[in-house]
Amino acid sequence: MGRGELSVLVVDDDFRVANMHAGIVSALPGFTVGATVSSLAAARKALAEQDFDLALVDVYLPDGSGVELVRELRCDAMMLTAATESATIRAAITAGAFGYLVKPFDHAALAARLAGYARYRRLLEAPEVTAGDVDAALLALRPAAPAAAAAPGPVAASPTKDLVLQAVRESATPMSAAQIASAIGISRATAQRYLANLVGLGDLRMQLRYGSTGRPEQEYSAPRPRRL
């Protein structure tokens, strides 16, 4: 884990969904995936072995409710779930969940929540803060829209950013960060930084491509225009 990175625990009973959420987390600068698990038991084991800053937790787990896990956590938590029962939502908030995203949601929505969480953490870094800092920190946890919250370390408008966006938009198929870097002549790390920012702004979408073995690869594409 790099210096200053926020470690995230991803808890979801569907391994493909868990990997998708983990991919969104790792695409954002300032975040790292500490562990990806699919049950309460595995989550508790991971929590006993290492420290996390944030847990992304599903309600429906094979051995219990994710709400119970949130009650036990010493780190922060957000719920990512298909559960829409009012009682469950109230219970999750009472248990300490900072946010509640209902599946299915756009990748940019999660990126915006994570960016807001990073801002919340930055605003409350000092031992003492002002009333304005408190208000701003709490507001950061409730982004109005994906475009309202840029990814941590926002990327200013630049020719390189425009080239990354153009390369993806002109491609007939989704592209990986390595392909984009090669196409426009920049490093993969630089491409990933611009891509993460563009995903956070909603200008691009990130999805995972699964191979026969190994970790899925992150691929980027332009959102499809909405039909009127």
Look at residue 59 and tell me if it is in a domain: yes
Look at residue 120 and tell me if it is in a domain: no
Q: Are residues 13 and 100 in the same domain?
A: yes
Per-residue pLDDT of the chain (228 residues; tens, 9 = 90+): 445 799 999 999 988 889 889 988 988 889 999 999 999 999 999 999 999 999 999 999 999 999 999 999 999 999 999 999 999 999 999 999 999 999 888 888 898 899 999 999 999 999 999 999 999 999 999 876 444 334 444 545 568 888 899 999 999 999 988 899 888 888 887 888 788 778 877 788 888 776 655 556 788 898 876 554
What pTM does this model have?
A: 0.67
> Are the C-beta atoms of 206 and 222 separated by less than 8 Å?
no
Q: What is the CATH number of the domain that holds 173?
A: 1.10.10.10
What residue numbers bound the domain in which 204 lies? 159-221
Look at residue 119 and tell me if it is in a domain: no
Look at residue 18 and tell me if it is in a domain: yes
Residue ending a domain, among 49, 79, 114, is: 114
Distance, in Å, from the CA atom of 34 to the CA atom of 154, rounded to the nearest integer, reads 23
By DSSP bridging, strand 217-221 and strand 205-209 are antiparallel
